[in-house]
Structure 1
Amino acid sequence: MTLDDVAAEAGVSVGTASRALSGRGDLAPATRRRVLAAARVLGYTRDPAAGGRPAGAARLLDLVLGSYHNAYSDEVTAGARSAAAAAGYDLVLTEERDTPDDDWPMRIRRRGSAGVVLGLISPTASQLAAITDAEIPVVLMDPQAETSRGLTSVRTTDRDGAFAAATHLADRGATRFAIVLGSPPYRYGRARNAGFREGLRLAAPDADLVAVQADWGGAAAREAALPLLHGLHAGERLGVFACTDEMAAGVYAAAAATGRRIPDDVLVVGFDDLRGARWLTPPLTTVRQPIREMAAAAVTALAQAAAGAPLPPSPIVLPTQLIERGST
């Protein structure tokens, strides 16, 4: 199978096919994807000697996130950077931009990255193919979907952490319960929902549980929690589990707006243990997921793969821990 065959299959010139496969030149993403798909269908593998930087030629690892400059991404970056440095690699921060012409997989191919960590994003099949067809190993960190498409993933014990939150709220004397769920319902959100319900069923089988939806943000969580707090009767204590610390902060705002006191009237547990959790008033009880350690584990797996070790076939799972503070 030759480059001419790939060009004919994709309906482009040989020169365009060559640039697409090597990651060189300014091509429309759709054209590049068409050439890569044609090469995959025909079973064509480009000889690195023909041009383009082969995977792993540079001691670089890529970290791809949907956004940076927030508390979660800061933790991920810190853990990934430390592990990369320890393994003798530089870390490249790549942001997935929500634009049709964003061709981040080809930028990774062009620089010959030794491996890629994809964090909290859902790459398309063609984006993944652009990376894996170049034999660049990929590890998913906290994948949003249940299936990992055969790729190694790193995650935490979402269900167990939420189970512990339910048990803790019941032990602290909550008489009613609410869970603030994120929408869309990603894999980890569904696991936290299931774990909380299971824990509450065992700790307080006759308890009243209300579920409200927010968009994973604090402002939406505030609006969702307001009716619950307005309807709280004298002598009741509402135990709220928010599926992220940011949504827990929204519950704090709703409590302030309705004159409810934390933890006297409302007990709140979050999930993440980001740096802002301890600075809320009162400090937030939360389920800590080891974000830095998860990022480090993903990078370490890639560095070992670059040295010839196989990537783990099953998910790398790190445990959560309930951190008790003043909100309960």
Structure 2
Amino acid sequence: MTTESSPLTIAQLAELAGVSTATVSKVVNGRSEVSPETRAAVEELIRLHGYRRQRRRSTPTTLVELVFHALEGDYPVEITKGVADVARAHDLTVAISDLHHDHTTTQSWLDGVLRRRPTGVIAVFSGLTEAQHDQLIHREIPLVLLDPADAPARNIPSVGAGNWNGGLTATRHLLELGHRRIAIITGPDAALPSRARLDGYRTALDMAGLPADPALIARGDFLIEGGLAQAHHLLRLPDRPTAVFATNDGQAIGVYHAAHQLGLRIPDDLSVIGFDDLPSVRWTIPPLTTIRQPLTDMAAAATTMLLTLAHGDPLPQNRVELATELVIRASTAPPPA
């Protein structure tokens, strides 16, 4: 009789599930031509008992799967650079997928990954369901989350940035310049980086003895259009802010456009600070003060972790968090007299 300590073979799984060995093979190899009910039954048995692979198995391809929640702007370019640098050094190729603003992968995407059998998967600002992660585990395909949108579950390795400290530093910079009416445009409420940056903003105000005015907290979406819309709202308040902390550089660009449309000069009438330090913000007029998160270094760290796992070695730590840094340019100044 099998127990949880003795993983099952395909034949044993098939017997317990009441299906053919070919059907079980399709499930463990990520094939799509299996009914959802049968797939769920086999995967539940694997979760309970484990799966003992035959010694003869396919070799991983020289491929790193890199999946983005969206392929827009400089953000994915900077991350791809970091992944590609490490991959190139190990003679690996990078395959890129786009989830079109979704934060969870689809089963059809995962089926393709399982067929390609990559060295590993890096998911950027997105994640997999528990069942999908189980499928990767069963195929011995490691997964690392990069800049995850939510707290990683089940000890999935991840790489992120010091978002809370970045929010604190950005707000402190504005406070030190003399600003007291400081607005913030957040990212999506559900996004972990957004919540951490907002918490840093609130902490800086609290440390300065200032209450966080709910009227100055605008819910954004990390998009330029969202920054534009929320900045219009904030800058039309009767007691408008003298500074805006946009929690990513895209929204900061939106603030620039809103200020121009309303006849406000940056930084004479309004100070603006962003978050990311994407290459393009050095060329805004005026150049944007921002919090640098080292996206390329984060991506390189995630790829190194992935290769460590692919080689069967343990990670020194499951969570890596790289420091953020204030980059002062010309978009922040003391408030108008």
- Normalising by the smaller structure, the TM-score range is 0.7 to 0.9
By how many angstroms is 1:91 displaced? 1.9
How many aligned residue pairs are there?
322
Q: What are the Cα deviations for residues 21-69 of structure 1, in whole angstroms up to 9, with x where unaligned?
A: 22356556776555434433342333252x6x24xx3232221222225
By how many angstroms is 1:123 displaced? 1.4
Q: Distance in 2 between matches of 1:284 and 1:31?
A: 55
Q: How does 1:129-168 map to 2 (within 5 A)?
A: 129-168=134-173
Partner of 1:297: 301
Q: Decide whether aligned partners of structure 1 residues 164 and 9 sit closer, same or farther in structure 2, where only a CA change above 3 A counts.
A: same
Whether contact under 8 Å (2:99, 2:105) holds in the other structure is no
Unpaired runs of 5+ residues, structure 1, are none
Counterpart AA for 2:71: Y
SS at match of 1:175: coil
Partner of 1:73: 76
Whether contact under 8 Å (2:248, 2:274) holds in the other structure is yes
> Which stretch of the first structure deviates more once superposed, 66-75 or 12-21?
12-21
Partner of 1:45: 52
Whether contact under 8 Å (2:235, 2:241) holds in the other structure is no
Q: How does 1:238-257 map to 2 (within 5 A)?
A: 238-257=242-261
Whether contact under 8 Å (2:105, 2:128) holds in the other structure is no
SS at match of 2:219: strand
SS at match of 2:186: strand
Counterpart AA for 2:24: A
By how many angstroms is 1:8 displaced? 5.6
By how many angstroms is 1:164 displaced? 1.0
1:223 is the counterpart of 2:229? yes
Q: Decide whether aligned partners of structure 1 residues 216 and 9 sit closer, same or farther in structure 2, where only a CA change above 3 A counts.
A: farther
Q: Distance in 2 between matches of 1:61 and 1:248?
A: 33
Unpaired runs of 5+ residues, structure 2, are 1-7, 333-337
1:282 is the counterpart of 2:289? no
1:20 is the counterpart of 2:27? yes
Q: How does 1:1-328 map to 2 (within 5 A)?
A: 1-7=8-14, 12-24=19-31, 26-27=33-34, 32=39, 34-47=41-54, 49=56, 53-54=58-59, 57-96=60-99, 102-203=107-208, 205=210, 210-231=216-237, 238-328=242-332
The alignment yields a C-alpha RMSD, in angstroms, of 2.6
Q: Distance in 2 between matches of 1:191 and 1:207?
A: 15
Q: Distance in 2 between matches of 1:202 and 1:272?
A: 24
Q: What are the Cα deviations for residues 176-218 of structure 1, in whole angstroms up to 9, with x where unaligned?
A: 1101011233111111011111122224636857101122212
SS at match of 1:246: helix
Whether contact under 8 Å (1:242, 1:271) holds in the other structure is yes
By how many angstroms is 1:131 displaced? 0.8
The percent of aligned pairs where both chains have the same amino acid is 37
Counterpart AA for 2:222: W
Whether contact under 8 Å (2:86, 2:303) holds in the other structure is yes
Counterpart AA for 1:158: N
Q: Decide whether aligned partners of structure 1 residues 275 and 9 sit closer, same or farther in structure 2, where only a CA change above 3 A counts.
A: farther
Counterpart AA for 1:319: A
Q: Decide whether aligned partners of structure 1 residues 28 and 104 sit closer, same or farther in structure 2, where only a CA change above 3 A counts.
A: farther
Q: Decide whether aligned partners of structure 1 residues 87 and 232 sit closer, same or farther in structure 2, where only a CA change above 3 A counts.
A: farther
Q: Distance in 1 between matches of 2:182 and 2:87?
A: 43
Counterpart AA for 1:70: G
By how many angstroms is 1:310 displaced? 0.9
Counterpart AA for 1:187: L
Whether contact under 8 Å (2:168, 2:200) holds in the other structure is yes
Normalising to structure 1: TM-score of the pair?
0.88
